[in-house]
Homo-oligomer: A and B are copies of this chain.
Amino acid sequence: MFKDALRELVEKTDGGIAGIVMDSEGIALDSYARDDAPFDITTVGIEFGVILGSVKRAAESLEAGAASEVAIGTDKMITIIRTLGPTYFLALALRPDGNFGKGRYMMRTTAPKLLAELG
């Protein structure tokens, strides 16, 4: 149901590899990956979704307000995660040399559309 939005997010971000909408239990609602994606975005979403949970708790404990975004850079990829309300999140994986700024911008503009559909 989010396939079109996810495809647009991935294809319009230079270096975009895959995108996913997932809930905090690690259940994927929808995902989109380029044919040559070198990994399984669901596995990435599950691992980094756990991190997002820890970040939310840490931000709460620091009284830093709600956590809205986490980005993780490794040797092989950049993953940007954005919360969609309290239960869901959107993740986008890029190549390490991908356009991180464009990816963040695309996530910011895509999130409200997804949230509206999630109701």
**Residues of A with Cβ closer than 8 Å to B?**
39, 43-44, 47-48, 50-51, 54-55, 58-59, 61-77, 101
Q: A69 CA to B76 CA in the complex, in Å?
A: 12
| A-side interface mostly | mixed
Q: Which one of A47, A72, A76 has the highest number of Cβ atoms from chain B below 10 Å of its Cβ?
A: A72
Which chain B residues lie closer than 8 Å to A59 at the CB level? 72, 74
Task: Specify the chain B residue showing the minimal Cβ separation from A69.
Answer: B73
Which chain B residues lie closer than 8 Å to A47 at the CB level? 58, 61-62
Once A70-B70, A70-B71, A71-B71 are accepted as A-B contacts, the answer to whether A76 and B55 lie under 8 Å apart by CB is: no
Minimum Cβ distance to chain B for residue A73 (Å)? 4
